[in-house]
Amino acid sequence: MKIKNICCIGAGYVGGPTMSVLALKNPNIKVTVVDINQDRINSWNDENLGDLPIYEPGLEEIVNEARGRNLFFSTDVEKAIDEAEMIFISVNTPTKTYGKGKGMAADLKYIELCARQIAKVATTDKIVVEKSTLPVRTAQAIKDILDNTGNGVKFQILSNPEFLAEGTAVQDLLTPDRVLIGGEESEEGTIAMNSLVEIYATWIPKENILTTNVWSSELSKLVANAFLAQRVSSINAISELCEVTGADVGEVSRAIGMDSRIGPKFLKASVGFGGSCFQKDILNLVYIAKTYGLNEVADYWEQVIIMNDYQKRRFADNIVSTLYNTVSGKKITFLGWAFKKDTNDTRESAAIYVADALMNEQAEIIVYDPKVSEKRIYEDLDYLGSRSPEENRRLLKVVKDPYIASEEAHAIAILTEWDEFIEYDWKKIYDSVVKPAFVFDGRKLLDAELMSKIGFDYSSIGISKTQNK
Ligand code: NAD
Ligand code: UDX
């Protein structure tokens, strides 16, 4: 079955870039991305490409080429559903903040709303594609809703989880390691899967497009994120051991990464992983395991989160103890707020939790991030609910120039690995800060030897301090 018209519900970090690339590579398919958030849609339609709602290297060029040709952004959800033969659901699936499974399970209310809306509107057969990350067996729930509330038309449900990482979304979409498609094991299921395979095959080699049953596909996404996060927590656990023994975590990573069975990627020690996916998806996995009574399995994976929380706390504690056990009234400059470089996304960023811990100690935080807005930073803090919005604005200020941000600082903390931080005139910064000039590098980004030579008291995740000197 040749697809001519696609609708994607959810114009976020996944829906926007994914559909832009799909439209770019399939000029004969009309792709409409819909969202209930009018501001977001307005930004996607903005003439000024610098104002797209998401910053991703290379995305502006793609939107510029496809938008208005066969790529459209709209708030008319019903019209887009009605016209499409294939509907991607790419809405958010955050951790539940209420009721049963609070703080662990995925909140599926937005998914269910989409399913109900599709059922209500559809007057022709549809292929519904789960693009959002979902607990294993969600396709069953979606099918139940569609079959029981629809207008008698036929639905096929596919699972097609997205593996892009933020900051490299365009590259990941253009040359993915693999595309995963799960479908029903029936003739209709195979036809539906093949129609999606054909769309991807316009730019991805067929051997990289895997087809499986729906449950394996849904579960694989959670497992992929759990394995990736586990590597970060594993190396972060070792970083503390390096700090007390004189080993250098970078050298340990390099040494173990050259073992082809381990591999070199995802072994960078850090202040802790962030992002909208890792924590949410592991908690979801833990919850599913618990639901089936698999307590040892649940505990095993939960430890990845426990280690990550510890790493963030440890970073903040180290700042306080190094600054003579008090940071009250001291100015601490944060370089970076995003959860990783090359994105303006801050969801679950380690910076939020480190700032919160230091503000509890009455530190004064000055933040500079090349891409994150002041509004976003305050929203992140207010969301925690640790103190009043007024207090957050009193204790934390956002500055647009890194050199001004650093003036008179008692310490500089690096929270995101933005490339530009390496290029700064660190001698100039040294001259403008309070002495002793402390730098806490949460990303192992700067040259320890150079920093010490300039005169900084430099400490980095995973390197013992005496080793720098
Ligand atoms: P997001 O919050 O950026 O975007 C979701 C969008 O869906 C929002 O704009 C919201 O307004 C819209 N929406 C919600 N309910 C709607 C409805 N009923 N009708 C129309 N629009 C609706 O989320 P995201 O980061 O794009 O993530 C989406 C899904 O993809 C999640 O399940 C996530 O786990 C998964 N995922 C995310 C990433 C990532 O890097 N962000 C990577 C892989 C998978
Ligand atoms: C992740 C998965 O990589 C991606 O496949 C999935 O689709 C969504 O979740 P993302 O969260 O966007 O992507 O970024 P990722 O590059 O995985 O980084 C996540 C966090 O781990 C960041 O805070 C990053 O700084 C941290 N990290 C990553 C480390 O601390 N060390 C590493 O070696 C790698």
Q: Alpha-carbon distance 136 to 264, whole Å?
A: 30
Residue 106 placed within a domain: yes
The predicted model gives 90-118 an average pLDDT of 95
Does a structural domain hold residue 234? yes
Q: The complex's ipTM?
A: 0.98
pLDDT reported for residue 465: 77
Do 182 and 257 lie in a common domain? Answer: no
Residue 145 above 70 pLDDT?
A: yes
Which ligand is located closest to the Cα atom of residue 40?
1
Is residue 50 domain-shared with residue 184, that is, in the same domain?
A: yes
Clarify whether residues 130 and 62 are in a common domain. yes
Going through 124-246 in order, the beta strands assigned E by DSSP cover 126-130, 155-159, 179-183, 209-213
Q: How far is the CA of 453 from the centre of ligand 1 (A)?
A: 46
Please indicate, yes or no, whether residues 177 and 288 belong to a single structural domain of this protein: no
Kindly state the tokens that stand for 122: 């559809």
Six token digits for residue 251: 């050298």
Q: Which ligand is nearest to the CA of 225?
A: 2
* Amino acid making up residue 448: A
Does 279 count as an annotated binding residue? yes
- 469 pLDDT higher than 50: no
Residue 250 CB less than 6 A away from ligand 1: no
Task: Please check whether residue 213 lies inside any domain of the structure.
Answer: no
Residue 365: per-residue pLDDT: 98
Whether residue 326 is found in the same domain as residue 391: yes
Together in a domain, 305 and 168: no
Rounded to the nearest 5 percent, the helix, strand and coil shares of the chain are 50, 15, 40
What's the average model confidence in pLDDT over 133-155?
92
- Asked if the structure places residue 62 within a domain, the reply is yes
**Domain final residue, candidates 204, 235, 254:** 204
pLDDT of residue 467: 54
Q: Is 92 annotated as a binding residue?
A: yes
Percent of the chain with pLDDT over 90: 96
Q: How many domains does the chain have?
A: 2
Domain edge (last residue) among 170, 204, 238: 204
Backbone angles phi, psi at 18, to 5 degrees: -60, -45
Report the pLDDT averaged over residues 393-411.
Answer: 98
What does the pLDDT read at residue 466?
61
Note down the domain range covering 162: 5-204
Q: Residues 253-263: pLDDT tens digits?
A: 999 999 999 99
The pLDDT mean for the chain works out to 96
State mean pLDDT over 191-206: 98
Average pLDDT for residues 384-389, to the nearest whole number?
A: 97
pTM of the model: 0.96
**Domain-located, residue 58:** yes
pLDDT at 428 over 90: yes
**Residue 245 belongs to a domain with what CATH number?**
3.40.50.720
Together in a domain, 199 and 316: no
Atom of ligand 2 nearest to the CA of 272: 30
- Domain assignment present for residue 422? The answer is yes
Question: Is there a contact between 282 and 305 (Cβ–Cβ < 8 Å)?
Answer: yes
